Structure 1
Amino acid sequence: MNTALQPILELTIIIPGMFLAYLPVKSYIHAGSHKSFSDAGTDHADPSFLSLLLWLVPLLAIASILGGVICYHRNLSTTWILFPLLPCLFLLYHKTLQISIWKSVSVFLAVCAVFACVNSLSRAISALLMMPEEPALGSLLRLLWQHPDTDGIPLWFCTNAGFFYNLICWGFVLVAWYPASHAVRAMVEDDNFAQTWYVFWMIPLLFTGLNLFMVPRYKSTLYTGRILQGYIVISLVLLVILALFYTMFLLMAISLNRNARLQQENHFLSLQKQRYDTLLAAIEEARHARHDLRHHFVQLSSLAEQGDLEKIRQYLENATNKIPDLDMHFCENRAADSVIGYYCALAKRENIPFHAQTDLPAKITADEIDMCLVLSNLLENALEASLKTSAAKRSINISAYLHSPHLLLIQVTNPFDGEIHEKNHVFQSSKRHGNGVGIQSVRRIAEKNGGASTFTYESSVFSAKIMLRI
């Protein structure tokens, strides 16, 4: 017997679907991007995600109930509601995120593909539960074949199959919760994996299309021969293949991320090696300068006896220029000191004043790779902006220190000329079309462990303030 609950149950799966789609991209929700230093706490729960659920879940529930009631009274398949509803849900999904269209499409379609496979399996379960007794099967098939649009034909899953459909979908959410919130989230946030999203969406789209292609036009088709058994097997095989593909894709992403991490470590090690060689050269120059100091005194004494003050001034000026610049040590932490020293050398090569006030101990409990990525991204942006600024206004200022045993504060300021483009609170790249990668990377590193970041630009001065929890 058909009830209004049947189409409603078919549509309520949009609730676990949207919930699962948001798990890997919680850090991209609009409200979460405005977290201030005072808002950052030890609790890793994202308040923006919780506030989103408070209005999204009731909205989805209302949409499911209204859609189910319309299907029931109009005797329509839920497909007529679901197909126009999905684009609206995607638009809502994308607009609530600070994320590229490729990533949002890929994640959304990935969830749709899984739920499409579960839909096919639930359709088979529904057909099994509503299978007629064998003596009446022939007459029923003839009825369905001759009158495929008769009101007596069930348009929706039976009630038990509807509950099974929702149970499996929520079960998949629970199973995927941890990998979606950690491994998949890291994959989404990994800038080294950005190009892959341009093609990933094709696979879930293909699986969704295969499941739609499998939907029989008439219910009687499933009761013909062994079609129902084959339908169940194919539905399970598609679901397993899709799960294996997602697993392989995730493992590939983890491997690529590990390789990128190693490359970053090698890069920072090379910076430390350059820094070490520079310090050794400076120390050697200082040793030679001290050795030559006695000869300078003899020469100055001779010039003083002659009373030639102009030659004394010229001699002192030449000797001062030959004294090596030993202002090359910025802090006790070797990793941070290497990065700051590297960009200080680049700045001095371009005659850009570089001022650093850093007080970082040799041992910091923070992830040094993340700390160095923040420093290098900020200093690289500051250097590039300074190169585009008039020579008289150029300067780079950085301060980094421990505010408390568990808080590391970093601030970088630099003047800039021109305009800074910001779209939906995301800075646009000045080197290419699209979102800027450096600041987004800094923001994600800061916020992933409960830290915070603020970026301001006024009076032709750009300022970045970062708080890292350690």
Structure 2
Amino acid sequence: MLIYHKTLKISVWKSVSIFLAVFAVFACVNSLSRAVNALITADLHITENELWFRTGAGIFYNLICLLFVLASWYPARHCVQTMIADENFAQTWYVFWIIPVIFIGVNLFMIPKYRSTLYTGRILQCYIVFSLVLLILLLLFYVMFLMMGGNLNRNARLQQENHFLSLQQERYENLCMAIEEARQARHDIRHHFVQLSSLAEQGDMEKIKKYLSAATGKISDYNLHFCENQAVDSVFGHYSTLAERENIPFHAMVSLPADLSIDEINLCLVFSNLLENAIQASVKTDQARRKINVEVYPHHNHLLLIHVENTFDGKIRQENNIFQSSKRSGNGIGIESVRHITDKNGGICDFTYKDGIFSAKIMLRI
């Protein structure tokens, strides 16, 4: 079981649930094979001490298992694989394991202690029917779970898309405000020149300095543009505004084209998690030390390099190379989400911290 889990790049809940799901199917098939074996050996005089599982029943068991593998190959390679690989962790995984455990327990409970029990009355016929019903019910439960899990993952993805659309709407409104402020500034510049000319004629340098200082303070320093990609630009615009509210110096050099081959939702999730963690960590430090530096640029047209650096208060909990959440007990979700998306994309990520500086380096294929 441990070796099986180590070969996968999914959570423990998913790997254990999949293992139990396959085990439950084989348990139901084993019950059917036991019934077939009882039919084959019905006319044989076998004592209770003899092995009564015959070669024919073994062949039947292996054939049924092979048929199930072949029948499940296509759905497992498509819809099941898609749901398992989805970074959205559907809550149904937390309870799914209960179903195969129950079916495994029922099949183990059905095993007759004595061979002769199956030949009492209509027990053998009932055993066959019950085994078939269990197998069919189990498969129906799996189909229902697949549909429920798929819908939950789709809903989670729609929520993410709606979230980024709201960020784009917020970004658009902020841009409109900045453009309006710039238009107003251009409109007022003639009046500023007239006032400055009047002060210059009076030779009052102190009033000129005060006037220029006041006029400069009214000019918005809102970042109008980070990159050509609208989705990523919206994310950076949102978090730069949050950083400004918390008095965190935010410096970002983002070089991204408008169109990317990588999934934009996943890319925005990476940036959102990194920037949110950076802001939360910087807020806890002294205001004089706060800073967030970001560099994003393509490399050789097929790699995207991301470097996010921020200050932190020097307190980071890490267990088994997994960062622990500072807001609750358990693993930190943000960095683990970045790891998962990076691994899924065939990239690599590295997180280091030293002397009060946390650094995240990501390489993604584009």
TM-score, with length taken from structure 2: 0.92
Q: Give the deviation of 1:467 after TM superposition.
A: 2.1
Q: Partner letter of residue 21 of structure 2?
A: A
Is 1:399 paired with 2:295?
yes
Is 1:377 paired with 2:359?
no
User: Residue 413 of structure 1 aligns to a residue in which SS?
Assistant: strand
Match in the other structure for 1:203 = 99
Q: Deviations over 1:71-130 (max 9, x none)?
A: xxxxxxxxxxxxxxxxxxxxxxxxxxxx34x44443332222122112111212222332
Moved more, 258-267 or 459-468: 459-468
Match in the other structure for 2:51 = 154
Match in the other structure for 2:8 = 26
Q: 1:410 to 1:182 in 2, by over 3 A?
A: farther
Contact 1:191 1:437 in 2 (8 A): no
Match in the other structure for 1:464 = 360
Match in the other structure for 1:429 = 325
Moved more, 346-355 or 423-432: 423-432
Mapped to 2, the partners of 1:373 and 1:309 lie a distance apart of 52
Q: Give the deviation of 1:189 after TM superposition.
A: 5.3
Contact 2:5 2:15 in 1 (8 A): no
Q: Give the deviation of 1:446 after TM superposition.
A: 1.5
Q: Deviations over 1:332-388 (max 9, x none)?
A: 110000000000000000000101000111111221111111111111111111111
Is 1:249 paired with 2:145?
yes
User: Residue 397 of structure 1 aligns to a residue in which SS?
Assistant: strand
Moved more, 241-250 or 160-169: 160-169
Q: Of 36, 56, 61, which residue of structure 2 is paired with 1:125?
A: 36
Q: 1:421 to 1:176 in 2, by over 3 A?
A: farther
Structure 2 counterparts to residues 181-192 of structure 1, below 5 A: 183-188=79-84, 190=86, 192=88
Match in the other structure for 2:261 = 365
Mapped to 1, the partners of 2:70 and 2:135 lie a distance apart of 17
Q: Partner letter of residue 26 of structure 1?
A: L
Moved more, 327-336 or 185-194: 185-194
Tell which has more relative contact order, 1 or 2 (C-alpha 8 A, sep 6+).
Answer: 1
Moved more, 184-193 or 418-427: 184-193
Contact 1:402 1:409 in 2 (8 A): yes
Q: Give the deviation of 1:18 after TM superposition.
A: 8.9
Match in the other structure for 1:450 = 346
Q: 1:399 to 1:325 in 2, by over 3 A?
A: same
Is 1:111 paired with 2:22?
yes
Mapped to 2, the partners of 1:457 and 1:162 lie a distance apart of 58
Contact 2:167 2:235 in 1 (8 A): yes
Is 1:299 paired with 2:299?
no
Q: Partner letter of residue 417 of structure 1?
A: D
Structure 2 counterparts to residues 4-403 of structure 1, below 5 A: 26-28=8-10, 99-100=11-12, 102-132=13-43, 140=45, 144=47, 148=48, 151=49, 153-154=50-51, 157-177=53-73, 179-180=75-76, 183-188=79-84, 190=86, 192-403=88-299
Q: Deviations over 1:48-71 (max 9, x none)?
A: xxxxxxxxxxxxxxxxxxxxxxxx
User: Residue 393 of structure 1 aligns to a residue in which SS?
Assistant: coil
Q: Give the deviation of 1:451 after TM superposition.
A: 2.0
Q: CA RMSD in A?
A: 2.4
Match in the other structure for 1:89 = none
Mapped to 1, the partners of 2:98 and 2:325 lie a distance apart of 27
Q: Partner letter of residue 165 of structure 1?
A: Y
User: Residue 409 of structure 1 aligns to a residue in which SS?
Assistant: strand
Match in the other structure for 1:4 = none
Mapped to 1, the partners of 2:109 and 2:152 lie a distance apart of 35
Q: Give the deviation of 1:162 after TM superposition.
A: 2.7
Mapped to 1, the partners of 2:138 and 2:270 lie a distance apart of 37
Task: Give the percent of matched residue pairs that are identical in Structure 1 and Structure 2.
Answer: 64
Match in the other structure for 2:308 = 412
Aligned length: 366
TM-score, with length taken from structure 1: 0.72
Contact 2:88 2:157 in 1 (8 A): no
Q: Give the deviation of 1:322 after TM superposition.
A: 0.8
Q: Partner letter of residue 135 of structure 2?
A: L
Mapped to 1, the partners of 2:2 and 2:137 lie a distance apart of 22
Unaligned runs of 5+ in 1: 1-16, 29-98, 134-139
Q: Give the deviation of 1:226 after TM superposition.
A: 3.1
Contact 1:453 1:467 in 2 (8 A): yes
Contact 2:25 2:135 in 1 (8 A): yes
The answer to which structure has the higher helix fraction is: 1
Q: 1:253 to 1:417 in 2, by over 3 A?
A: same
Mapped to 2, the partners of 1:313 and 1:401 lie a distance apart of 41
Q: 1:456 to 1:185 in 2, by over 3 A?
A: farther
Would you identify which runs of 4 or more consecutive aligned residues in structure 1 move more than 3 Å? Answer: 102-105, 166-195
Q: Give the deviation of 1:271 after TM superposition.
A: 0.7
User: Residue 326 of structure 2 aligns to a residue in which SS?
Assistant: coil
Q: 1:363 to 1:162 in 2, by over 3 A?
A: same
User: Residue 223 of structure 2 aligns to a residue in which SS?
Assistant: coil
